[in-house]
């Protein structure tokens, strides 16, 4: 008879730590996202497409947090997809740092570039924790 999978004690990070870390990083991403509208001096951020995209982004963050509080795999999955998209967006917004040209809008100020790098850090944390939690939930379900 095959033994069911279980979470072992020698894991690098625990479920509770990852759970708190993903919630904190999603809230931080939401705060960083709002800074577009009070720190950014680019006129593009007030166009309809940007505002609509931001509204959808905030709805997905809110839904992810609610689902994560209920410890559902869908919440971790949504947070992971959202963080990958956010990471890609922030990297593209900082494209000018390496290639001296901006792709999605006019070139951001130095303050916005620094803010993007901070966002990249938190989006990366969210990617890692959502991946860890998604698989930890699967292991704990299979062991029951």
C-alpha to C-alpha distance for 137 and 43, rounded to whole angstroms: 43
The pTM is what? 0.73
Tokens encoding 131: 């991946």
pLDDT band at 1 (very low <50, low <70, confident <90, very high): very low
Q: Which has more confidence, 99 or 48?
A: 48
Residue 82: the pLDDT is 93
Query: How far is residue 76's CA from residue 15's CA, in Å, rounded to a whole number?
Result: 12
Q: Which residues contact 127 (CB under 8 A, 6 or more apart)?
A: 80, 83, 84, 87
Q: Is pLDDT above 80 for 115?
A: yes
């Amino acid at each position: 008879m095959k033994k069911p999978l279980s979470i072992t004690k020698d894991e690098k990070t625990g479920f509770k730590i990852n759970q708190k870390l993903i919630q904190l990083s999603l809230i931080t991403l939401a705060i960083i996202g709002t800074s577009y509208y009070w720190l950014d001096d680019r006129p593009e951020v007030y166009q309809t497409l940007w505002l609509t995209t931001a509204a959808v982004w905030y709805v997905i963050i809110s839904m992810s947090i609610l689902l994560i509080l209920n410890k559902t795999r869908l919440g971790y999955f949504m947070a992971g997809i959202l963080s990958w998209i956010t990471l890609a967006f922030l990297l593209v917004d900082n494209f000018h740092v390496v290639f001296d040209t901006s792709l999605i809008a006019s070139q951001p100020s130095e303050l916005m570039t620094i803010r993007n790098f901070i966002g990249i850090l938190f989006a990366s944390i969210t990617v890692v924790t959502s991946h860890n939690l998604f698989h930890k939930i699967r292991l704990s379900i299979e062991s029951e």
